[in-house]
Amino acid sequence: MSELFSVVGKVAVVTGASSGLGRRFAATLAGRGAKVVVLARRADRLKELESAYPDAILPVVGDVTDEDDVAAAVEQAYRWGGSLDILVNNAGTTHVEAAEDEDGAAFARVLEVNVTGLFRCCRLVGRSMLERGSGSIVNISSINALVASGAIPEAGYVASKGAVSSLTRELAAQWSARGVRVNALAPGYFPSEMTASLFEPEHARYFRRLPMKRGGHPHELDGPLLFLASDASSYMTGHTLVVDGGWTIV
């Protein structure tokens, strides 16, 4: 069974890896034998991650909204690892404001990072995967691709995550026959920079509606990530895998 979920010797690219879930995703892959290129804007955070996994992490400073940055990261990954086997599109942002007050620039910025930046990474990494005839892309979506955000007004974010799941299906339909699988991972509420305030004691009531009555623990995404990235999910494509403690079932 361990071989089925193995990523040993694989070369991965993880975007938005300087903190939160992205950092965890990179560490999970590196800790299980993959060589991981981590792409983010904060060089100091990436260096910290490299120091924890000096032989398995290659830090690349860049922004997913910049075509040249992404292209350079893909080139470095290929030179360093010799192939590109896994892409985890984690880079993302949000803007919290009532929809009637959210201006077009703020809305567009969220979509530029969460959708256009993600597509840019899929396209540039996907070309290499298609040439080799194999690869697994894991796009990080959200439960907000399925349900409204509710108490947190973030129209741009919700729209972007719906787009991520739709784009995942479209890319899967186009590329799966040529060996490249494309799936999405949709977490519920897990600790990160974007959700830190929700995990303060005064906001405990926020999780009472969940069947599990709590937010997620970071390690609870390790298994789902490895499942989608590895051959364990070899007959799965175009799927959005929800890991949310039951948030979307009630």
d(CA 221, CA 26): 12
Quickly count: other Cβ atoms within 10 Å of residue 158's Cβ.
Answer: 23
- Phi first, then psi, for residue 34 (nearest 5°) are -85, 155
Of 215, 117, 228, 224, whose CA–CA distance to 164 is shortest?
A: 117
Q: Choose the catalytic residue: 53, 157, 189, 235.
A: 157
State both tokens at 168. Answer: 């995942």
d(CA 13, CA 136): 11
Q: Are 182 and 237 in contact (CB under 8 A)?
A: yes
State both tokens at 214. Answer: 């709590």
Q: Is 53 a catalytic residue?
A: no
Q: Which residue type does 185 have?
A: L
Residues with a catalytic annotation lie at: 157
